[in-house]
Structure 1
């Protein structure tokens, strides 16, 4: 580990927001201040770095935010940062403030930007996995996933009430453009008959056969949970085919959308974010640079940023076997 003296650190949130980001910011600020570092908040992610929208943060600035969803530093996606000219501007702005270390709370795209920036300008970066999709290798948990999946479960439970009252087939679409963890977890937790995710090829004929068999057995209440990134095209496309092939089924679609991103973070997400934020600062202080702080088997785990962005969490086939058995 290259132990470079750190005195001023910046913290930012980038990409999609996730519940618990505020708890992570709070932990970074208060841990940094505890160790005598100056901590700066960078507003709107990399965009704020380019615009020099950077301000000093004291403990009182992060009071009363741990229970809030979203991110009080705001977030944005910044195409300019992915160009060398944009990163050069960002570096000059960091130099003006004397910032010599960064904590980036975000996902895959955010870490790619951090990796390039650190390689070019020797600014040590620590990544915290802030994504509701749980799609980053190197951590069993990500900031925001628990809240998002519980939001989905609560919504689907309510949908089940009206499904049962009307003997309906509901197709519920949850978030997950590249990863199906929200669909998998919420689907199992709510007793879904079928779960469709990007990691597996959707067999539409098997789905139709399964639903037809259930209808033959007079099982008229059925739930299909589909991730938005399902290769077949999401809930609306699935519903279109089901209506054509099983016209007797009272088929409805519900797309939960961005409701899954918002809301007060669960206790689990607050603890995870606080833990990771603390260890992000500790890592910078001991020279453990350019890694993502994660949790593996209930222990802190450090994954090189390059590895975190190249690999994805993989859903084991055992999970899909469990889904099939429990839905029979």
Structure 2
């Protein structure tokens, strides 16, 4: 396995970050706890001043569902709208007014709202492309073959008043799910990211921020090997679900390329953090995990965090997780709600 040349320094940073985090929130992390269903859920303490959202769907109906989630929270406001571009064909990756317009209206309706958009870097992005196909696509992108598509995307966003969107480009690149994965050719992946960001930054009037977001842990390739450079990254995100089965929240903090490594890596590069996707998964209705994540956000102050709100991950849109739902309502709901 290929190792990062900065591994000893990174390991020290991870250890220091983990120790600091445990000192900051010693009673909330439930040391050693696994999801057994036998413990009382932690008290649902508020999450102060962290921009938050629920992913409730990509279309106009998903925008409308945000008000339903806010009502469920007892009046707590969700200030982050998060959606995804389809990755099936380039015409969809360029975006459409049917997708942009409802989000633009939502954002314009109240000052301070943040629009986050996940942008695929490859067409046929979930079609099971071979490593050879991925490698060829990455190299073509790095050479500018797809520039016109990113230019069209940027111009469309700007035309709809979404010129300050956070763009999560090529997310979870360290895994194997997507055609825009990094593993087949990390050097080409990084060059392609730089090329796409350069095109998008060339759009008149844009104020985009670019969010580099791997999935938590090692996955198929160590995600630091895919990092394209401080000059083309504004935020360092992490998608972090409650998996694998049986792993405690502390284990998710301290694992290789886990939560602590993410925070330490971002600090070393002078970048803020984000959590575009997180939620329940392999350990069922697990309020200890949810409380641990919310306390992590309180300690590390991300640019934004977004709950993936459909089964099995969600809390409003999934009736299977009532104990976790109560923790989220306590953290994000309006003060004094019943």
For normalisation by structure 2, the TM-score amounts to 0.22
Q: Which structure has greater strand proportion?
A: 1
Larger radius of gyration: 1
**Structure (1 or 2) with the greater helix fraction:** 1
TM-score, normalised to structure 1's length?
Answer: 0.22
